[in-house]
Amino acid sequence: MNPTEPIAATSGVSRSTRAAAVLRVTSGNFLEQFDFFLFGFYATFISKIFFPSTSEFASLMLTFAVFGAGFLMRPLGAIFLGAYIDKVGRRTGLIVTLSIMASGTVLIACVPGYASIGLLAPALVLLGRLLQGFSAGAELGGVSVYLAEMATPGNKGFYTSWQSASQQVAIVMAAAIGYGLNQWLSAQQIGAWGWRVPFFIGCAIVPFLFMLRRSLQETAAFEARQHHPQAREIFSMLLANWRTVIGGMLLTAMTTTTFYLITVYTPTFGRSVLKLSTADSLMVTLLVAVSNFVWLPIGGAVSDRIGRKPLLLAISVLAIFTAYPALSWLADAPSFARMLIVLLWFSFFFGMYNGAMVAALTEVMPVEVRVAGFSLAFSLATAVFGGFTPAVSTYLIQVTHDKAAPGYWLSFAALCGLCATLGLYRRRASSSASAASSA
């Protein structure tokens, strides 16, 4: 891995408008997570509308497979849209990713059910998920790099943490809408048409999000670069730095797995596995999102003070040794209180780790392919680990008959994060030493 240039600490955005710039750039993240959470939360209803089967398990697995299929498009989006953003600029690229994301959201909200149009219904839902996945492949990287490039000196971790923090606002809003619908509508009404209401709300806020994105300024760090590589150059550099990309994927495995376990999968886990009420599952999810929102900037700020590596290692070790025991304790006597305690513990993992990880990933990527490299690493982790966490968890519980089995998957992801942290920072130290000796 070649030594990377430091990310510029200045930006075209004035200090007095930095908070507004953070809001504008993270607006697309809000839409992405709002819709992704809704798909996971209403998975049981979506499975009956679009994937009818005589087996509830089969229908649910098909739904989660389509949910996961969107994540398989992320690496393609990371490569092609990420290269586009590295070439034309952060502002223009992020408007394009929002456009594609919005198209997928509108499609999923409006598709008639299987009973009306047959196999075309699940095919169109799949297309919507593929569009969302393609867009999301570069969205996270573009937003994270923008925040890193506009950060003030010594606060990069704090600034980049707002990429994920914006997603928690989306989850709180989606969970609150779901809770309200659960109070106002019957289960039959929600299953028939009520589940579409939050998706239509997501469609309604798209124009507002476009307005925010269009007012973004380009980062000074990008404008200051003398050379903006063409797509072929970017692809070549990604190939030359494949070890860094794979290391970044493993580093991100911990955060993507934890996130999708405690947000997207939680409502289904609470209802279908633990047999808790829908209201309890929604309330836990809402409180977990609030907890994430609190811990993320704390994790970023702590990593600014003590360094990324110590925090990443400490949280990885905690997760490896406590994930399964915590879920076993919950499965032994399921209750709202126990579920809340366990998922708040996992929320602490996610917030502290991710707060350090996002900044770390922007720092290890070569500057010329910062968006494409970050996006590809994150997308591969989401495709291989996070995106399929609901499906893997459902499968593990089915074959082991152990309700705590998702803990094995989370511990494995944490082990990947631990190994990646050690490997990436060893390579970075070695590269820095080589550069210093040759200077």
Mean pLDDT of the chain: 83
How does pLDDT run across 36-62, given as a tens digit for each residue?
Answer: 777 767 777 777 788 776 666 777 777
CA 439/CA 437 separation, integer angstroms = 6
How far apart CA 326 and CA 310 sit, in angstroms, is 24
State both tokens at 149: 């490039």
**How sure is the predictor about 223, in pLDDT bands with cuts at 50, 70 and 90?**
confident
Three-state secondary structure of the chain: CCCCCCCCCCCCCCHHHHHHHHHHHHHHHHHHHHHHHHHHHCHHHHHHHHCCCCCHHHHHHHHHHHHHHHHHCHHHHHHHHHHHHHHHCHHHHHHHHHHHHHHHHHHHHHCCCHHHHCCHHHHHHHHHHHHHHHHHHHHHHHHHHHHHHHCCCCCHHHHHHHHHHHHHHHHHHHHHHHHHHHHHCCHHHHHHHHCHHHHHHHHHCHHHHHHHHHCCCCCHHHHHCCCCCCHHHHHHHHHHCHHHHHHHHHHHHHHHHHHHHHCCCHHHHHHHHCCCCHHHHHHHHHHHHHHHHHHHHHHHHHHHHHCHHHHHHHHHHHHHHHHHHHHHHHHHCCCHHHHHHHHHHHHHHHHHHHHHHHHHHHHHCCHHHHHHHHHHHHHHHHHHHHCCHHHHHHHHHHHHCCCCCHHHHHHHHHHHHHHHHHHHHHHHHHHHHHHHHHC
* Cα–Cα distance, 135 to 133 (Å, whole number): 5
The predicted pLDDT at position 6 comes to: 43
pLDDT confidence tier of residue 7, bands split at 50, 70 and 90: very low
Does residue 420 register a pLDDT over 90? yes
What is the C-alpha separation between 143 and 94, in angstroms, rounded? 8
Report how far residue 76's alpha carbon sits from residue 62's, in angstroms, rounded to the nearest whole number.
23
Structure confidence at residue 12 as a pLDDT band (50, 70, 90): very low
Are 63 and 173 in contact by the 8 Å Cβ rule? The answer is: no
CA distance 352 to 14: 28
- Which pTM was predicted? 0.79
| Residue percentage of the chain with pLDDT more than 90 | 26
Q: Which tens digits make up the pLDDT trace of 76-111? A: 888 888 888 877 777 788 888 888 888 888 888 888
Residue 343 buriedness (CB in 10 A; 0-12 / 13-18 / 19+) = buried
Contact (CB, 8 A) for 343 and 265: no
Find the mean pLDDT for residues 163-183: 83
* Between 15 and 414, residue with greater pLDDT: 414
349 vs 312: CA distance, rounded Å: 10
Say whether pLDDT at 289 is over 90: no
Q: Which of 54-58, 140-144, 182-186 holds the top average pLDDT?
A: 182-186
Amino acid in position 137: G
Q: What is the pLDDT of residue 53?
A: 66
d(CA 196, CA 184): 14
Output the CA angle 12-18-19, nearest 5 degrees. Answer: 155
Higher-confidence position of 10 and 328: 328
Candidates 293, 297, 62, 275; CA nearest to 172 is 293
Long-range contacts of 226-231 (CB under 8 A, 24+ apart): 227/368, 228/86, 228/87, 228/88, 229/86, 229/87, 229/368, 229/369, 230/87, 231/80, 231/83, 231/84, 231/87
Report residue 251's pLDDT band, with 50, 70 and 90 as the boundaries.
very high
Residue type present at position 300? G
pLDDT band at 11 (very low <50, low <70, confident <90, very high): very low
pLDDT in tens, 344-353: 999 999 999 9
Query: Are the beta carbons of 198 and 38 closer than 8 angstroms?
Result: yes
Residue 1's pLDDT band, with cuts at 50, 70 and 90, is very low
Domain covering 18-216+239-433 assigned CATH 1.20.1250.20 in the classification: yes
Higher-pLDDT residue of 228, 253 = 253
Residue 409, pLDDT score:
95
Q: Closest by alpha carbon to 39, among 124, 102, 116, 129?
A: 129
